[in-house]
A and B are shown apart, each in its own frame.
Chain A
Amino acid sequence: MSLEYILKISGPMLEGAKVTLLTFFIVIIISIPLGLFITLAGRSRFRPIVWFIKGYIYVMRGTPLLLQLLVLCFGLPMIPVIGQYLVLDRFLAAVIGFVLNYAAYFAEIFRGGLLAIDKGQYEAAQVLGMNRWQRMTRIILPQMFRVTLPSVTNETITLVKDTALLYAVAVPELLHYAQTAVNRDFTIVPFFIAGLMYLMITLVLTFFLKRIEMKVKFE
């Protein structure tokens, strides 16, 4: 197996890795704040909102992400009458699918994090004269992020790997180029290269997230 061959196929695979990374960053940047928003909205006193959010999270967590992606990419246009307006760019549709799915998971993580915070924290902050917004932003959310950071890290790493599902909705990403090379050249090497690339991404990510974890230990 020549170095030359590895270099040759690495070019398109790096192109694919770009799509993988792009998807990853877009999804993380949108789904974490969205998840937080969903968590906070889920605490609303307006019951219909709470039910809606419960239902949404139930569906997102109770069905395969792959099914959700297939519905968004190929299913929506088939809906009678309105389907014709729902033909999205496949990449866009897939990203929306990832965001909706991951936001639901993050929302559940954050909800658990909020439950872990002692009632005394709200009370002390209130007695010290902080208003709702100040209590939330200065006292509760920072602690919630601290508590949930390990789960958020896990979920983030999982997302890197889940981006491979783009393959199933024919958005060319890292795995797609590997598979193409494997079929064409009849060798397992591209799979190894793809694996290495995923490992590199998760390694850098883990390092980065661990550093954040160390920073917010509060000791």
Chain B
Amino acid sequence: MEILRVTNVKKSFDGEPIIKGIRFAVQKNEVVALIGPSGSGKSTILRSLVHLETIDDGEIYIDGEYLVKNGIYNKPKEIRQIQRKLGMVFQHFNLFPHLTVKENLELAPKLAKLDSEEAISERCVQLLEKVGLQNRLDAYPSKLSGGQKQRVAIARALMMQPKLMLFDEPTSALDPELTGEVLTVMKDLAKEQMTMLVVTHEMAFAKEVADRVIFMDQGEIVEEGTPEELFENPKHERTKAFLKRY
């Protein structure tokens, strides 16, 4: 079953085409890694999916409903419903510094009345256990390490019970010794069959965890396939040149 379908998506910044007609899909329970050089448009794609960028043309379907069809956006109310299905983890965590870990997790689901307060609170504790931070419930983000912050950010996104989790270079802002703890959490999620689209420079992670890898360059998808196909046997010169650097 398809959770995400992106067709012919185009996007320019200041007249400069950045995304040049992209097409791909993500199936339920699939982990897809999106790789490519800096500036190739990976973040722009993720940001378009969560409506932080507006695309110029194309179609985005999320769990069978359209966010954009032929470049025309759905009604705001529908969009809000559709966006509920996506969780996003940012490179720089973007935790709310004035709220404790617990409040960071609980605020959005409470505002959305996703569940009863008790159920939300229970879920918060469960998720923090899952990411190994159950003892930091009342800490403010300023007291956490980068790796801990990112794990809280993942738990916060999971609070909304998304069908698809988007990660935009979740470990790029971390010291090397802290990336492991975040990647472990993501691997656990993959094992639990969470559907994920991960922009990453961690090739080892992509190889190990991804079901499929998409290589992008200059706003286009150059090549996609299983990790074996793409890493062991890349077909395009651009892919080869990119992978040589790792």
Tell me if A130 and B140 are in contact (CB < 8 A).
no
Closest B residue to A146 by CB, please name it. Answer: B98
Q: Among the listed stretches A14-22, A94-102, A117-125, A185-193, which one makes contact with chain B, having 4 or more residues with CB under 8 Å of it?
A: A117-125
Interface residue? B143 (CB, 8 A): yes
Which residue of A126, A130, A218 contacts B52 across the interface (Cβ within 8 Å)? Answer: A126
CB of B83 closer than 8 Å to a CB of A: yes
Chain A count of residues within 8 A CB distance of the other chain: 21
A218 touches B142 (CB 8 A): yes
* Those of B30-52 within 8 Å (CB) of chain A: 50-52
Q: Is B131 an interface residue (CB 8 A)?
A: no
Inter-subunit contact A124/B98 (CB<8 Å) = no
Which residues of A sit under 8 angstroms from B94, Cβ to Cβ?
118, 120-121, 123-124
Interface secondary structure of A, over-half rule: helix
B86 within 8 A of A: yes
- Picked from A124, A127, A129, A219, the residue with its CB within 8 Å of the CB of B112 is A129
Encoded as 1 (CB less than 8 Å from any B CB) or 0, chain A from 132 to 165 comes to: 0010001100110010000000000000000000
Q: Is the pair A143, B98 in contact by a Cβ cutoff of 8 Å? A: yes
**Which of A130, A134, A142 lies in contact with B98, CB distance below 8 A?**
A142
- Is B11 an interface position by the 8 A CB rule? no
Q: A128: nearest residue on chain B (CB-CB)?
A: B108
Annotate B108-126 by CB proximity to A: 1 below 8 A, 0 otherwise. Answer: 1001100000000000000
- Smallest CB separation, A139 vs chain B (Å): 6
**B81-122 interface with A by 8 A CB criterion:** 83-84, 86-88, 90, 92, 94-99, 107-108, 111-112
The answer on a CB contact under 8 Å between B96 and A219 is no
- CB of B240 within 8 Å of the partner chain: no
> A12 vs B156: C-alpha distance in the bound complex, in angstroms?
60
Query: Which chain B residues in 132-147 approach chain A with CB under 8 Å?
Result: 140, 142-143
Q: Which residues of A contact B (CB under 8 A)?
A: 118, 120-121, 123-131, 134, 138-139, 142-143, 146, 216, 218-219
A-B contact pairs, 9 of them (CB 8 A): A121-B96, A123-B90, A126-B50, A127-B83, A127-B157, A129-B80, A129-B84, A134-B111, A138-B111
